[in-house]
Structure 1
Amino acid sequence: MNGAPPSGPTIMGIDIIWVASILSAVAAFAVLLAIYAATTVRDPMAKRVKSLNERREQLKAGITASTSKRRAKLVQKSETTDRIRSLLSSMKVLQDSQVKQAQTKLLQAGIRRKEFAVAVIFGRLVLPIVIGGPMLYFVYGTEMFADWSPMKAYGLVAGSFILAYKFPDIYLKNKITKRSAAIRKGLPDALDLLVICAEAGLTVDAAFARVSKELGKAYPELGEEFQLTAIELGFLTDRRQAFENLAERIDLDSIRGVVTTMIQTEKYGTPLASALRVLSAEFRNERMMRAEEKAARLPAIMTVPLILFILPVLFIVILGPAACSINDALISKGP
C-alpha cells in the first residue's frame, strides 16, 4: 500500500515549497540586515578627528596628556610597560633596534601607542609558550594524536611554535597591508586636491588640513595621516621632520615620492602645484594599470566559482521543473 502523495512538487524527496520558504526567510533577513547597516552608518572620521584634536592640545601645552585622569591612565600603562621592559632586559632579549622596528610597524598599522612595541616583543616570547607548550603536551603527552606518524606530529608541534612566534608580526603586516592599500587608493585624489589648494594660495599646512577634511569620509586612513601632518607642520620647528614622519607612518613608495617632492619644494622654492600635478597623473595611471591587471586575471579566477557554483544552479533552474514534472508523473501512476 502506497503512502499519501506529497502535497507539493518535490525533487530527490525534498519539498520544493519548504526549501523555497527557508530561502525566502534567509533573503528577508539579509535585506533587513542590509537596511539596518545602511541606516546606522557612523562617521568614520569622528573618533579619529577627536583623537587628533587631543593630540593638538597636547602639542600646544607641551605635556603628555590634557587631563589628570588621562595622565593617571598613561602612568598606569607606562608602569606596566616598564615592568615588561625590565623583564625583557633582564632576560637579555630586548634590543633598541627591535623596539624601533616594532614602533615603526605599529605606526604603519595605525597604532599610535609606541609603548605597545614592548608588548609585541613580549608576545613573541610568550605566545610560543602559551600555544606551543599545550600543543607539545597534547601531541607527545596524550594519546590524542597517537595514530599520527612521527613526522606529522613533529610538523604540528613545530608549526604551532613557529606560528605562535610569528603571530604578532603577521597581525601587524596584515593591518599594514590593508591600511596601505586604502591609502594608495585615495592618494591621487588627495594630490589633486592639494594642487587645487596650492593654486588657491593656501599654505602647505592649511592645504593638508583642508584635504584631510574633504577626504575624511571617503578615505579615513589618508585623512587621518594628512590631519596629523598638518598638526605637525603647525607645531614642529623643523617642517622637514613633519614630512619625514609622514613617510615613516605609511609603508608606500608613492608616499615617499610625495614627501621627497614636498621637501624639495620647501628647500628650493620650486612650484608645488606643477610637481604635485605630475605625481597625481603618475599615481592615477598606476592605479589604472593595477585595475587593468586585476581585470585581466578575472577570467582565470572566475573559472572555479563558475564550475562549482554557477553551473550547478543553472542546471537546477533549467532541469528542475522537468525533473519535478517527471517525478510527479511517476508518483501519480504508481504500481
Structure 2
Amino acid sequence: MNPAAGPTLLGVDVYWVATVLSGVAAFAVMIAIYAATSVKDPMAKRVKALNDRREQLKAGITASTKRRAKLVQRNDTADKMRSLLVSMQVLQDSQLKQAQLKLMQAGIRSKDWAVAVIFGRLVLPIVFGGTMLFLVYGTEMFATYSPLKRYGIVAVSFILSYKAPDIFLKNKIQKRSDAIRKGLPDALDLLVICAEAGLTVDAAFHRVSKELGRAYPELGDEFSLTAIELGFLTERRQAFENLATRVDLDAVKGVVTTMIQTEKYGTPLASALRVLSAEFRNERMMRAEEKAARLPAIMTVPLILFILPTLFVVILGPAACSISDAFKSGV
C-alpha cells in the first residue's frame, strides 16, 4: 500500500520543496560561518607587496649584484610556460607588455602572471573547446540538435575559452577603477590639507595612503606605491607617470598632469588640487543623478514580472473564488 501523498501546490509536493529549501538554507549557513571564521587581514598582502617594491627599488639603486639576484624571485612554473611559448614561437614582446599593463591596472603586481595569461589563451581553447568538440561530434549528447546549433556551440566554446583571461582581467580592472574613482575626491581633499600644512609631495602621498587605506584600499595601495617611488626614483616625473599607467582612469591622468606641472613650474599645488577635487565631486554627483534618472526605466521589468502579478492575485483572487463558489452552488 502506497503511503498517503503529501499536499501539493501547482502539482509540486510541498514537503519535497520544504526539504530542498531547508537543505539550501543549511548550506548557506555553513558557507556564512566559514566566511566569517576565515576572514584574512586585507592590509597584510598590501603591506607585503609594498615592502617588496621598496626592496626592489633599493636593490636597483644601492644593492650589490648578488643581492639583486636574491631579490629577483623566479617562478619555475612561469619559466616552464615561457619556455614552451618561446619554443612554439607564440610569445611576442608586444603581447607580453600589454598583458603586464593589464595586470598592473587590475592590481596584480607579479609579472609572471603575464606569461600565464598568454599561456591561458593557448591552452584554454584546446581544453574546453576540444572537450566540447568531442562531446558534440564524438558522442550522441547533442545528436538531436541541428548542424547549425552544434557548430554554434563549438564556436562559442572556443571563443569564450580564448577570451576568458581577457574578460577576467577587464572585469577586475573595471571594479578597481570604480573603487579608485569613488575615493579620489576625498584623497585630493586630504592632499590639499597636507600641502597647506607644509608637507612634501611624497610625505603627503604617504599620509593620504595611510588615512584612506581602510576605506579605499585600492587607492591607498596606489598612493603608497607612488610615495615609495617618489623617494627612490631618480626622476619624480617617472613616479607620477607610473601612477597614471597603473590606473585606467582619465581623472587620475588629470591629477598626474597637474602634479607634473606643479613640479616643473612651481605652481601652487593646493589651489590646483582643490579645483580638481571640486570637479570630481561634481562628476560623481552627476553620475549618481544619472543612475537615479534611469531607475524608473530599470524598475519597469521587475514591476511587470513580479509586482503586478502579485497585486492581481491579491485583488482578483477573492473575487474569482466568490464567482467559482457561486457557479458551484448554482449547479
- Interval containing the TM-score (normalised by the shorter chain): 0.7 to 0.9
Cα deviation code 1:111-141 (max 9, x no counterpart): 0001211111111111110011111111111
List runs of 5+ in structure 2 lacking aligned partners. Answer: 1-5
Describe the shift of the 1:316–1:206 C-alpha distance in structure 2 as closer, same or farther (beyond 3 A). Answer: farther
Alignment partner, residue 190 of structure 2: 193
Instruction: Name the CA distance, whole Å, in 2 between partners of 1:208 and 1:289.
Output: 27
User: Superposition pairs for residues 14-33 of structure 1, below 5 Å?
Assistant: none
Alignment correspondent of 1:74: 73
Q: Of the candidates 260, 264, 281, which is equivalent to residue 261 of structure 2?
A: 264
Equivalence for 1:53: 51
**SS of residue paired to 1:142:** coil
SS at match of 2:42: coil
TM-superposed CA distance for 1:53, in Å, is 2.8
**Long gaps (5+) in structure 1:** 1-5
Equivalent in 156, 160, 163 of residue 160 of structure 2: 163
Does residue 297 of the first structure (1) align with residue 299 of the second (2)?
A: no
**Aligned 8 A contact 1:199 1:273 in 2:** yes
Matched, 1:184 2:181: yes
- Deviations along 1:86-129, one digit per CA (max 9) or x if unpaired, are 22122121111110000000000010001211111111111110
- Distance in 2 separating the partners of 1:267 and 1:85: 41
User: How far is 1:315 from its partner?
Assistant: 5.0
The residue type equivalent to 1:53 in the other structure is N
The answer on whether the counterparts of 2:188 and 2:274 sit within 8 Å (CA) in structure 1 is yes
- Could you say which residue in structure 2 is the equivalent of 1:207? 204
Distance in 2 (CA, whole Å) between partners of 1:293 and 1:35 is 38
Deviation at 1:257, TM superposition (A): 0.8
The CA deviation at 1:275 is 0.8
* Fraction of identical pairs, as percent: 78
Instruction: Please say which of residues 115-124 and 102-111 is displaced more in the overlay.
Output: 115-124
Q: Which residue among 215, 221, 227 is the counterpart of 2:218?
A: 221
Provide the secondary structure at the position in 2 that maps to 1:74.
coil
- On the 8 A contact 2:56/2:71 being kept in 1, the answer is no
Give the deviation of 1:73 after TM superposition: 9.8
Tell me, yes or no, if the aligned pair for 1:84 and 1:119 is still in contact at 8 Å: yes
User: 2:107 maps to what in 1?
Assistant: 110
Residues 275 and 38 of structure 1: is their aligned pair in 2 closer, same or farther, counting only changes over 3 Å? Answer: farther
Tell me, in whole angstroms, the C-alpha distance in 2 between the residues paired with 1:267 and 1:224. 25
| C-alpha distance 298-27 of structure 1, shift in aligned 2 (>3 A) | farther
RMSD, aligned α-carbons: 3.9
Residue in 1 that maps onto 2:3? none
Alignment check: 8 A CA contact 1:195 1:273 kept: yes
Match of 2:169 in 1: 172
Q: Distance in 1 between matches of 2:89 and 2:249?
A: 33
* Offset from partner CA, 1:195-229 (integer Å, 9 cap, x none): 11111111111111111111111111111110111
Q: 1:214 to 1:32 in 2, by over 3 A?
A: farther
| Distance of 1:177 and 1:302 partners within structure 2 | 25
Q: What does the per-residue CA deviation read over 1:134-157, in whole Å, with 9 as the maximum and x for residues that have no partner?
A: 111111111111111111111111
Label 1:41 to 1:158 Cα distance change in 2 as closer, same or farther (>3 A).
Answer: closer
CA gap 1:90/1:313 in 2 versus in 1, 3 angstroms: same
**TM-score, reference length from structure 2:** 0.81
Aligned to 2:133: 136
8 Å Cα contact 2:106-2:173 kept in structure 1 = yes
- Match of 1:151? 148
CA distance in 2, matches of 1:180, 1:191: 16
Structure with bigger RCO (C-alpha 8 Å, 6+ apart): 1
CA separation of 1:162 and 1:73: change in aligned 2, threshold 3 A? same
CA contact (8 A) 1:43 1:217 kept: no
Paired AA for residue 182 in structure 2: K
Partner of 1:246: 243
Contact 1:229–1:246 at 8 Å: present in 2 too? yes
Q: Does structure 2 retain, via aligned residues, the 8 Å contact 1:131–1:161?
A: yes
* Distance across 1 between alignment mates of 2:58 and 2:229: 11
Amino acid at match of 1:74: Q
Seen in structure 2, the aligned counterparts of structure 1 residues 281 and 125 have a Cα distance that, compared at 3 Å, is same
CA distance in 2, matches of 1:95, 1:11: 62
